[in-house]
Chains A and B, each alone.
Chain A
């Protein structure tokens, strides 16, 4: 098998003596969705923030397409086509959708001024694809519903041709219709060959959306399984008891 799209190898981070992530290795292939599961505080978000550039690992290495990379900050991650949709959405509430979508990567005019009209035009285009009901282009995003805000966050990740997408509980604040919308989008992006890390609490969503699932507990990796070879109960057992099912079922892990 060719090199994975992403490999986080032997990552460790400690905060003031507490090992938030303890020698964890996970990987991700193109066109694949890998679920990251575990209790609150299991270390999923911390681990993934090493990839998105929000944190730097104390130890361990990151490989993209087999090449070792250094990700020191969110700019480095973006340069490697890694986009993140954060649990907290990471939107500036006082700015409109277009300003948020292009934040840090504004379109500018020849004279170097930000080109709001061009950015709004692009935002209308991508929103027309992702969420055709969206039309609050002039309002600050604090005036938007949870689903509308989520579509802004997703549009931001999708617009810039992400190769690697990190989604931190993308449906946590959404209603059933919007959750369905996100699920469809994940399928679509997967079909386009993106690799997606999905942090998710809802086992039902994991079974439906993910190809593999890596389970963490207390900062350690319990194991990685192919979702269609296990049951809901197997995964729940991993999350709650920290116990791997029979090793035969996880041959794709290293």
Chain B
């Protein structure tokens, strides 16, 4: 059995989530179309609305501010293209960073092709986007700023409260990709100056294929929808609601709220144990910020070896050398390159991401495997 340390790519579903989903699928359950007027339809609708409240509760939003989508990628696209297309008459400038998830990068690149201008902010050496750099990039015609809360490769956590504050008074909308951070860090949208926030269920022990976009009501953020049709989700996202998926996300977010304090402590300790074990390797480098990070992510670069060989040698570990969404490309991580790591160090990096089911024994075994295999490869290379 391999050791799964890739919780940032995707998480196994919590069995309680699977249990709730199973009640919304077959003839004996809440299978009906939530848009149908009959009793089974109304019952399905009630389950959807309960889930909406559960999602809202994790981030202290109002239920009507939650729009369900097919995942965080769609939510990112809806936020970015939706605001840009709606606000097009007001301005064509967007600010984002070079280390956003591909969902944000690719949506912004598409807008560039449509004639928008995008400022791509550089992170500092620790992988943080400094609020000052956002301020410096703002222009009168900036319609959107999109900065992630936590980076999926590094785990670094940006100060979105400060970025939101400095945008106050400027007309630009603030979108935050919180796919990695929701359920891992406390988020209070009533206190944050954030207009839009993306969430994924499958990063928080919920199902794949469901996510949500928070769209602030006051002051109201307006969007041009990506998907038009029957007018579901207040007209912002049409398509028959997948009750089981939505209920699964609701349950996952409810569990996240319940477990967060205890889980954050446990994962922080496990990550520290992993880091203490691996920092004994000569020359190993921590990618990211030493303290401003998610509890469960540790990203390291290993000098003098080839990334692919290291990943292959550590085959017993399910870890990644970057985001799963880029793993097919075999290119060195663009995130690490943006931090100024050279090709070798960017290539020979491992992202360990720990989660609800990770044990101390697994961490210890991971330390042992990586240490042994690295030393073997380094000796061969020398």
Chain B binds chain A: no
